[in-house]
Amino acid sequence: MTKTGITDTEWLVRVQSWQQSGLSQSAWCQQNDISVSKFGYWKRKLETVSATKPAQHSAFVPVTPAQEPVEPSASSQLTVVLPNGVTVSGINEGNLSLVKQLVGEML
């Protein structure tokens, strides 16, 4: 909790409110009776914290089986849809190690 009694979480909610408002920082601060310099300080502080804090991802992702069994073949390719909506397609035995690196960088 800060000296003024406002928690980091409350400041995060304020920053998110500004981002969703479509207003400039100055206009949003004026409407919400917050000093622009204090708002800027907290915005930078929260950005720094989120940049240094590793994102927490679940090790589990939903898997939906194919409606009908597919016969494997040498030329079959796999498509993976990541939790953040990114789709990686054209995966096969020849590029599997590259795909592992790519997905590791995105998560």
- How does pLDDT run across 11-45, given as a tens digit for each residue? 889 989 998 998 999 999 999 999 999 999 989 98
CB 83 within 8 A of CB 61: yes
Q: So what's the pLDDT on residue 68?
A: 63
Strands 87-91, 78-81: pairing kind = antiparallel
| Domain residue ranges in the chain | 8-52, 74-107
Residue 62 has pLDDT above 60, yes or no: yes
Rounded Cα gap, residues 34 and 18, in angstroms:
12
Residue 93 has pLDDT above 90, yes or no: no
Positions of E strands within 1-107: 78-81, 87-91
State mean pLDDT over 73-87: 70
Percent of the chain with pLDDT over 70: 71
CB 47 within 8 A of CB 40: no
Rounded Cα gap, residues 29 and 71, in angstroms:
60
Q: Angle CA(97)–CA(103)–CA(107) in degrees, nearest 5?
A: 145
